[in-house]
């Protein structure tokens, strides 16, 4: 598969950028941080209107039958503007799980509404620091689920979740009756919640080794979307840093003339371009044997790019960089929440090295 | 099969057929002189097979193909460790510049053909003891002498000068104007009276770079390849010619597979090193970095195939890859502990960690230091301000030394 974007793909990038820049502003995002349980409605409304939720789903269920490449382009733009809701990734992950591992009945029941964005999906695999635990905290007995799925991104508003439960088994759960407790986070717009299952009906998608493999695959798909979002965030920060470095003056010259500043921005350029290259490559490997390897590389370089860009951009701004108002901390927070959401770098390093050493589990 | 795939298949087949005669095993244990002689034969074979001067004009002995064919061939060629290093600079910069700017076309044609067949080698005489990064700060001078010129001064770091027949050189012809306005570009006969070449032994043990002294070296004006005082532009053109040089995400050091193999063999604290988190992290980070570069390079190739111009991100290659090669090589030695001391001066930096490590610093300096590359990215790509240059606009002879 080609790793050059075609005209249609480039149009998606331009159009989504235009739509997002018109609809998302830092002044709307800042208040979200101080309140639990609020996401940025205009972002999600835009996503639905523009068909982003339908983009990578099959036509038979109201999708647009495009793929990870196109979704990645949008996630990149969402990352640039700091999308104020986690659902682009999590609904996509849940929908893909249903598409790949669900029955015809389950697909018919959930996919059309996930495609239109009316239904919101979530993924609940993690147990504490482990994004893919060998012993999940949620117990499956028969077709009933018990226990707490902790810190589910988007969990506060999700209608349906794909859960990794004991067995291991991958199950589909209607969340309508499920109790949720919002987590007060450094990035509240992620709408993170603990989901408490108490004898909750669940439908099995996969069991045993197949469940783990399926969960890793879903996590990798989400990681590639997230990596695009991280790269977008890093790119935006690099541009902000660059602009500030040519305008702000000290000692009679722009601070960008000091090599400790300009070289830092040049290093960011390197991190952003490596992450972008890995993202494009990973998206184009969907369905291939090396997809997980490519996803891990994308994830690692994008996390490094966004975290570094967040740190350095604040530093380059000096005092103003650490104020609430200017909002660089929005990116700092987002860089960290995205770094944790689909499994930390420790996890992806292990996945990658296992594959390179030829002994993947 | 596309034309390019057909070309690649042809390149693969030819390269493989050359391995017994010119591959790593055939070169093992040869002295530099013998290896160079083998290299000349290799270059001739390459020429005869139609793989020399791939993107050069046919009337000068080239193949008249595109850049994409050239890098496709080079990517295949690089896999086998053939003795082509002696011609890298010669055919990379000086000879293409001669093709472009050489005044006497018959002379040019003769030289280009000989260089392509490995009979003659050219070197590039830019750097001087007073500075390499600051190219326009050079001090070697040429004064008019009858109808021609007389060169005095010293160059340094000149790769392969000891084996070179000719060189391209930038010298100062007018010290009373701003520094980059007083330079002129010539070619010189390296065997001319007054030229002395003295090899410099490098940290890794080899001596491919040299000091070159010019004592009243007389050249006629037909050696001039730029207007008098217009040498800086030609020097920049020289540096720009190889913009998309052959790339290697391993930084011209060992492939990451070799490190993974090592980590599987070695035990750390009683366990295979591949299970150690510190080692795993380095492998993973290196892989992600190299995969990114590979992907940038593949994309650049695809763009060229499609008739587009690749983005500037190709400039990251050397900067990022060589730094990581240096650290990974240190780590590989760490892993071997006392077993890492063994050193063979002639081992290849492509598959020997000690050789890769000791030679890595040259990669961070030659062809633009890390700092220069960062400046280029910052200034040319990102539009950040130029460094403060106190010597700007001042006549060269009034710049405080
Ligand atoms: C193996 C090898 C082969 C070479 N082959 C050739 C050849 O064939 N022909 C040839 O002409 N030259 C050759 N060179 C020379 C090479 O181009 C120079 O070494 C290089 O340009 C650096 O110049 P320098 O060594 O004088 O270092 P300097 O210019 O003195 O630099 C010293 C340090 O200062 C830094 N520095 C300098 N200016 C700046 C700045 N503006 N901002 C930030 N940092 C700065 C440099 O990055 C470096 O770290 C070769 C060098 C090596 C090592």
Chain segment B236-282, per-residue pLDDT in tens: 988 887 655 668 899 999 999 999 999 999 999 999 999 999 999 99
What confidence score (pLDDT) does residue A361 get?
46
This model of the complex carries an ipTM of: 0.93
pTM value is 0.94
Between CA B150 and CA A205 the distance in angstroms is 84
Asked if B381 lies within 8 A of A263 by C-beta distance, the reply is no
Q: Strand A121-124 vs strand A160-165: parallel, antiparallel, or unpaired?
A: parallel
Between CA B195 and CA B178 the distance in angstroms is 28
Chain B residues 46-105 with a CB less than 8 Å from chain A: none
User: Is the beta carbon of B387 within 6 A of some atom in ligand 1?
Assistant: yes
pLDDT digits (tens, 9 = 90+) for B58-99: 999 999 999 889 989 998 999 999 999 999 999 999 999 999
How far is A279 from chain B, CA to nearest CA, in Å?
9
What confidence score (pLDDT) does residue A53 get?
97
Residue tagged 């293409």 (tokens): B96
Distance B290 CA to ligand 1 centre (A): 25
pLDDT digits (tens, 9 = 90+) for A278-315: 999 999 999 999 999 999 999 999 999 999 999 999 99
Residue of B251, B288, B390 to mutate when probing chain A, most A C-beta within 10 A:
B288
Distance B125 CA to ligand 1 centre (A): 13
Supply the mean pLDDT for chain B. Answer: 94
Between CA A162 and CA A164 the distance in angstroms is 7
pLDDT beneath 70, residues of chain A: 1-2, 359-361
Strand partners, A149: A195
What confidence score (pLDDT) does residue B206 get?
86
**Residue B175: exposure state from Cβ atoms within 10 A (0-12, 13-18, ≥19):** middle
With contacts defined as CB-CB under 8 Å, which chain B residues touch A241?
none
Q: Find the helix packing angle between B277-305 and B256-265, rounded to 10°.
A: 160
What confidence score (pLDDT) does residue B301 get?
87
Establish if B377 touches chain A: CB-CB under 8 angstroms.
yes
In A200-215, which positions are buried (b, 16+ CB within 10 angstroms) versus exposed (e)?
bebebbbbeeebbebb
pLDDT band at B401 (very low <50, low <70, confident <90, very high): confident
How far is B242 from chain A, CA to nearest CA, in Å?
21
pLDDT digits (tens, 9 = 90+) for B97-140: 999 999 899 999 999 999 999 999 999 999 999 888 999 999 99
What confidence score (pLDDT) does residue B309 get?
87
Tokens at A161, concatenated: 């979740």
């Amino acid at each position: 598969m080609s790793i050059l974007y075609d005209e249609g793909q480039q149009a998606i990038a331009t159009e989504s950028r235009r739509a997002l820049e018109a609809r998302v502003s830092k002044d709307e995002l800042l208040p979200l941080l101080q309140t639990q349980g609020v996401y940025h409605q205009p972002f999600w409304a835009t996503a639905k209107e523009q068909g982003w939720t339908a983009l990578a789903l099959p036509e038979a269920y109201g999708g647009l039958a495009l793929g990870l490449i196109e979704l990645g382009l949008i996630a990149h733009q969402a990352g640039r503007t700091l999308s104020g809701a986690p659902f682009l990734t999590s609904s996509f992950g849940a929908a893909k799980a249903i598409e790949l591992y669900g029955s015809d009945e389950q697909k018919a029941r959930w996919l059309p509404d996930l495609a239109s964005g009316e239904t919101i999906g979530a993924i609940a695999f993690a147990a504490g620091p482990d994004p893919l635990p060998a012993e999940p905290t949620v117990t499956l007995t028969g077709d009933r689920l018990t226990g707490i799925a902790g810190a589910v991104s988007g969990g506060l508003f999700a209608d349906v979740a794909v859960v990794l439960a004991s067995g291991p088994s991958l199950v589909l759960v209607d969340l309508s009756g499920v109790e949720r407790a919002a987590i007060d986070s450094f990035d509240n717009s992620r709408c993170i919640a603990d989901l408490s299952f108490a004898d909750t009906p669940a439908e099995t998608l996969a069991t045993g080794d197949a469940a783990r493999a399926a969960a890793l695959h879903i996590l990798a798909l989400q990681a590639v979307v997230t990596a695009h979002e991280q790269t977008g965030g890093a790119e935006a920060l690099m541009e902000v840093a660059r602009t500030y470095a040519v305008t702000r003056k000290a000692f009679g010259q722009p601070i960008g003339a000091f090599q400790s500043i300009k070289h830092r921005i040049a290093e960011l350029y390197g991190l952003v371009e490596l992450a972008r290259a890995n993202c494009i490559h990973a998206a184009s490997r969907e369905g291939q044997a090396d997809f997980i390897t490519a996803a891990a590389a994308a994830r690692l370089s994008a996390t490094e790019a966004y975290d570094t860009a967040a740190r350095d951009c604040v530093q380059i701004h000096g005092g103003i960089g650490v104020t609430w108002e200017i909002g660089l901390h929005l990116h700092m927070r987002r860089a960290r929440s995205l770094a944790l959401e689909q499994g930390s770098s420790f996890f992806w390093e292990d996945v990658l090295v296992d594959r390179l050493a030829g002994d993947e589990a | 099969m596309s034309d390019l795939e057909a070309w690649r298949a042809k390149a693969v087949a030819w390269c493989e057929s050359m391995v017994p005669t010119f591959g790593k095993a055939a070169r093992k244990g040869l002295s530099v002189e013998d290896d160079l002689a083998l290299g000349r034969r290799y270059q001739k074979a390459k020429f005869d097979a139609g793989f020399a001067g791939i993107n050069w004009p046919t009337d000068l002995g080239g193949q008249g193909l595109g850049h994409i064919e050239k890098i496709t061939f080079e990517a295949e060629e690089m896999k086998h460790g053939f003795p082509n290093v002696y011609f890298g600079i010669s055919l990379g910069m000086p000879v293409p510049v001669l093709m472009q700017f050489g005044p006497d076309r018959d002379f040019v044609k003769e030289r280009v053909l000989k260089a392509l067949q490995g009979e003659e080698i050219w070197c590039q005489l830019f750097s001087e003891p007073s500075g390499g990064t600051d190219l326009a700060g050079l001090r070697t001078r040429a004064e008019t002498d009858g109808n021609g010129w007389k060169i005095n001064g010293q160059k340094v770091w000149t790769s392969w000068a000891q084996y070179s027949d000719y060189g391209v050189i930038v010298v100062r012809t007018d010290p009373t104007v701003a520094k980059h306005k007083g330079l002129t570009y010539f070619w010189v006969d390296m065997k001319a009276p007054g030229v002395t070449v003295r090899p410099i032994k490098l940290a890794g043990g080899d001596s491919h770079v040299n000091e070159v002294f010019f004592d009243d070296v007389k050249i006629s004006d037909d050696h001039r390849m730029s207007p008098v005082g217009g040498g800086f532009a030609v020097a920049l053109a020289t540096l720009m010619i190889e913009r998309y040089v052959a790339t290697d995400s391993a930084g011209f050091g060992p492939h990451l597979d070799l490190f993974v193999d090592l980590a599987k063999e070695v035990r750390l604290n009683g366990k295979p090193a591949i299970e150690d988190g510190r080692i795993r992290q380095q492998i993973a980070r290196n892989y992600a970095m190299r995969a990114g570069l590979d992907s940038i390079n593949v994309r650049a190739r695809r763009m060229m195939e499609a008739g587009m111009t690749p983005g500037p991100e190709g400039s990251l290659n050397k900067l990022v890859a060589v730094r990581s090669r240096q650290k990974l090589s240190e780590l590989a030695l760490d892993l071997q502990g006392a077993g890492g001391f063994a050193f063979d001066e002639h081992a290849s930096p492509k598959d020997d960690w000690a050789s890769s490590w000791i030679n890595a610093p040259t990669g961070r300096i030659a062809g633009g230091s890390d700092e220069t590359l960062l400046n280029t990215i910052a200034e040319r790509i990102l539009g950040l301000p130029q460094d403060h240059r106190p010597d700007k606009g001042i006549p060269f002879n009034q710049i405080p030394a």
